[in-house]
Chains A and B, each alone.
Chain A
Amino acid sequence: MDGQNSYRAGPDEKGRFGHYGGRFVAETLMPLILDLEAAYKAAQADPAFEAELIDLQTHYVGRPSPLYFAERLTEHFGGAKIYLKRDELNHTGSHKINNCLGQILLARRMGKTRIIAETGAGQHGVAVATAAARFGLPCTVFMGATDMERQKPNVFRMKLLGADIRPVTSGSGTLKDAMNEALRDWVTNVENTFYIIGTVAGPHPYPAMVRDFQSIIGKEVREQMLDREGRLPDSLVACIGGGSNAMGLFHPFLDDSDIRIIGVEAGGLGLETPDHAASLAGGLPGVLHGNRTYLLQDDDGQIIEGHSISAGLDYPGIGPEHAFLRDAGRVEYVSATDAEALEAFQLITRLEGIIPALEPSHALAHVGKIAPDLPRDHLMVMNMCGRGDKDVFAVAEHLKVDL
């Protein structure tokens, strides 16, 4: 394993995955982050915490999500045998709920009485608002004004769930600005507030904690694939914005060195243009939002906005563990463009009767590039991390269909 014992050992006690990660936050937040780390450690050691989470996953979320053999898609590509991990069937329609329930249980253990979150596409915001409603906690969601315009159905869902939506107009009004604003709220309301970060980024312990809560995806896939095929898969494919669904699928398999693991970034209008959100392919290591990772930025260290057809992928950074896995060469990181994602979106909708979110449509676009050349006994798992209900209006617009 290239001189190291395990790819799953991180983070170290400073919250580092190799050079990446860390705790780059203002002093006001530092004590809170240390408290959170201690509370999370205690919760991990408490069987009652796990039992409560499993109960919610089973009866509220509907886990385990199915591992579905996509027969017609497989026939269409004519190569690898393609399985879809159906996390889009979860309550609230994406993998985001896995993490939100874990964090809200932790918030309760810590005696916090107010929840805040950032959201881009609104999937994380909806999942947070749902968890907050379920536990009767007031919840404030920060969302870029531009994203609110793009994702009206999710804005309304959050409002129905009782969340207070704060439009963020600073910067360009997208996910990174929403995250800045959530951090500003947290630093102001330190006593009672728990910040539920939606992806495997932010200061330690968030990247590790969110990964742990999302790893249920990969753990289930291991069991389900052994059950279905009698062996582990040969390859895993997932889309990456911040990278939580991908880390959830990948992490339990990182030390199975025969398994090929592929993360698909948002290529936007193409990596040769400035309009993409591929932080690994087009960015450089830097420090933002509490961690060191690959960031889209200019020569002066100013952050550049990402672009993607999918509001859930246009974050200019990526979780630090992905940065580590890229440098270590354990995971391959590729990209798919807006146009390729849009095509994949339509393809799977017609072939499998599954309308995917635009985020996993990127993963599917890459599946379409590699599956045809793989043997028929190659077992491939793609994470269908969200459903496309929220995206139908945006897709209609891109296809120039007047609804």
Chain B
Amino acid sequence: MSARQTRLDRKFAALQSEGRKAFIAFVTAGDPDPETSFAILSGLPAAGADIIELGMPFTDPMADGPSIQAASQRALKAGQTLEKTLAMVARFRAEDDTTPVVLMGYYNPVFIYGVDRFIKDAVAAGVDGLIIVDLPAEEDSELCLPAMEGGLNFIRLVSPTTDDARLPNVLENTSGFVYYVSITGITGSAAPDVSKVSDNVARIKGRTNLPVAVGFGIRTPEQANAIASVADGAVVGSALVDVIGETAKNGDKPATDCVARVLTLASDLAEGVHKEIQK
């Protein structure tokens, strides 16, 4: 779609040439506090994350389950803003110029920041792509088209309810990769049925050459392995964020090796995605 090669394009090309699948790790920016959150972000590539999805916290995350809702609330309580999230990406970029960073969230904070200003600042910070949950293809003129014009990938969600008639419209302005939502539901829900996911990934691949990553409901290295066997990548968010919730400082309860435990889980998940696919 885009003439320019992005970090995402290069990453998926490299993974493909190595015969590997992408482990995509989601954490919320600023959760549980700016410094701990940066330490997690900074450690994810070495833990095996191929791509990082960084959540932009929002008060009303309508597609998210309790884990990521709580992550947003912790981050906002600790003073996170969209400006700080962009600064966090810029700081990460100073030390890592290859791991793609995709910002994921809801439209309102971006709309209030100002679409043109956001695209300019996101590109300058080293952001590679956007996933905006509440911008379907019908609203492409809002952010998707200007973002792609500005050099960002716009990664579209495809869901089990996206039928064949609708799929081409949804894929039309998608770039970087396609994010298949494995279930009808919210993040952190029940584990997806791998055979159904497999059918749907095949259905999407019949319509696009873009890589297809799968997310929602993947919590363990085994599930990540099973999903990676039928897709180009697996996204894990709630399970990582739950560890932050359990280990972060909470009132009088002090933080307990939050960064180390999140990165340990990340590396277990990465191993699940990267190891030989179990048939």
> Is the pair B158, A27 in contact by a Cβ cutoff of 8 Å?
yes
Q: Does B160 touch A at the CB level, under 8 Å?
A: yes
> Is the pair B133, A26 in contact by a Cβ cutoff of 8 Å?
yes
Q: Does A226 touch B at the CB level, under 8 Å?
A: no
Within 8 A of A (CB), among B146-193: 156-163, 166, 170, 181, 184-186, 189
> Is the pair B69, A290 in contact by a Cβ cutoff of 8 Å?
no
**Chain B residues within 8 Å of A288, by CB:** 60, 108
Q: Does A30 touch B at the CB level, under 8 Å?
A: yes
> Is the pair A188, B184 in contact by a Cβ cutoff of 8 Å?
yes
> Is the pair A187, B109 in contact by a Cβ cutoff of 8 Å?
no
> Smallest distance from the beta carbon of B23 to chain A beta carbons, Å?
23
Contact with B along A332-362 (1 / 0, CB 8 A): 0000000000000000000000000000000
- With A and B bound together, what is the CA distance between A290 and B82 in angstroms? 21
With A31-B163, A180-B62, A187-B184 in contact, is A24–B109 under 8 Å at CB?
no
> Is the pair A188, B186 in contact by a Cβ cutoff of 8 Å?
yes
Q: How large is the interface on A (under 10, 10 to 19, 20 to 34, 35 or more residues)?
A: 35 or more
With A28-B184, A288-B108 in contact, is A14–B138 under 8 Å at CB?
yes
- With A and B bound together, what is the CA distance between A28 and B162 in angstroms? 7
Q: Does A312 touch B at the CB level, under 8 Å?
A: no
Q: Does A190 touch B at the CB level, under 8 Å?
A: yes
Q: Does B98 touch A at the CB level, under 8 Å?
A: no
- With A and B bound together, what is the CA distance between A170 and B135 in angstroms? 23
> Smallest distance from the beta carbon of A116 to chain B beta carbons, Å?
14
With A22-B139, A302-B109 in contact, is A31–B161 under 8 Å at CB?
yes
Tell me which of A184, A299, A300 contacts B62 (CB under 8 A): A184
Within 8 A of B (CB), among A273-300: 284, 286-290, 292, 295, 297, 299-300
> Smallest distance from the beta carbon of A20 to chain B beta carbons, Å?
13
- With A and B bound together, what is the CA distance between A113 and B59 in angstroms? 32
Q: Does A137 touch B at the CB level, under 8 Å?
A: no
- With A and B bound together, what is the CA distance between A370 and B110 in angstroms? 41
Total interface residues in chain B, CB < 8 Å: 43
State the main secondary structure of chain A at its contact with B: mixed
Q: Does B63 touch A at the CB level, under 8 Å?
A: yes
With A24-B134, A25-B134 in contact, is A188–B159 under 8 Å at CB?
no
- With A and B bound together, what is the CA distance between A31 and B110 in angstroms? 25
Name the residue on A nearest B134 (C-beta): A24
**Chain A residues within 8 Å of B160, by CB:** 28
Within 8 A of A (CB), among B79-113: 81-83, 106-113
**Chain B residues within 8 Å of A302, by CB:** 58-59, 76, 109
**Chain A residues within 8 Å of B170, by CB:** 27
Q: Does A183 touch B at the CB level, under 8 Å?
A: yes
Tell me which of A26, A184, A299 contacts B112 (CB under 8 A): A299
> Smallest distance from the beta carbon of B11 to chain A beta carbons, Å?
24
- With A and B bound together, what is the CA distance between A283 and B166 in angstroms? 36
**Chain A residues within 8 Å of B139, by CB:** 22-24
- With A and B bound together, what is the CA distance between A15 and B61 in angstroms? 23
> Smallest distance from the beta carbon of A101 to chain B beta carbons, Å?
27
State the main secondary structure of chain B at its contact with A: loop
In the complex, which of the residues B62, B160, B161 has the most CB atoms of chain A within 10 Å of its own CB atom?
B62
> Smallest distance from the beta carbon of B155 to chain A beta carbons, Å?
11
**Chain A residues within 8 Å of B113, by CB:** 300-301
Within 8 A of B (CB), among A131-175: 170-171
**Chain B residues within 8 Å of A295, by CB:** 108
With A27-B158, A190-B161, A288-B60 in contact, is A300–B107 under 8 Å at CB?
no
> Smallest distance from the beta carbon of B55 to chain A beta carbons, Å?
14
> Is the pair A287, B111 in contact by a Cβ cutoff of 8 Å?
yes
With A180-B62, A288-B108 in contact, is A26–B134 under 8 Å at CB?
yes
**Chain B residues within 8 Å of A300, by CB:** 81-83, 109, 112-113
Q: Does A176 touch B at the CB level, under 8 Å?
A: yes
**Chain B residues within 8 Å of A54, by CB:** none
Q: Does A269 touch B at the CB level, under 8 Å?
A: no
**Chain B residues within 8 Å of A53, by CB:** none
With A187-B185, A301-B113 in contact, is A28–B59 under 8 Å at CB?
no
Tell me which of B66, B83, B133, B185 contacts A188 (CB under 8 A): B185
Contact with A along B113-139 (1 / 0, CB 8 A): 100000000000000000001111111
- With A and B bound together, what is the CA distance between A295 and B62 in angstroms? 16
In the complex, which of the residues A190, A287, A292 has the most CB atoms of chain B within 10 Å of its own CB atom?
A287
With A23-B139, A302-B76 in contact, is A28–B159 under 8 Å at CB?
yes
Q: Does A32 touch B at the CB level, under 8 Å?
A: yes
With A26-B136, A27-B156 in contact, is A286–B60 under 8 Å at CB?
no
> Is the pair A287, B134 in contact by a Cβ cutoff of 8 Å?
yes
Name the residue on A nearest B138 (C-beta): A23
Name the residue on A nearest B79 (C-beta): A300
> Smallest distance from the beta carbon of B119 to chain A beta carbons, Å?
16
Contact with B along A1-28 (1 / 0, CB 8 A): 0000000000000100000001111111
Name the residue on B nearest A24 (C-beta): B134
Extra A-B contacts (14), CB below 8 Å, given A31-B163, A188-B189: A24-B134, A25-B136, A26-B133, A28-B159, A28-B185, A30-B136, A30-B166, A183-B62, A184-B65, A184-B186, A188-B185, A189-B184, A297-B112, A301-B58
- A-B pairs with lowest CB-CB distance, top 5: A301-B112, A301-B109, A28-B159, A188-B185, A300-B81
Task: Give 26 CB contacts A-B under 8 Å.
Answer: A23-B136, A23-B139, A24-B139, A26-B133, A27-B158, A27-B159, A27-B161, A27-B170, A28-B160, A28-B184, A30-B136, A30-B138, A30-B166, A31-B162, A184-B65, A184-B186, A187-B62, A187-B185, A187-B186, A188-B186, A188-B189, A287-B111, A300-B81, A300-B82, A300-B83, A301-B82
Q: Which residues of B contact A (CB under 8 A)?
A: 58-63, 65-66, 69, 76, 81-83, 106-113, 133-139, 156-163, 166, 170, 181, 184-186, 189
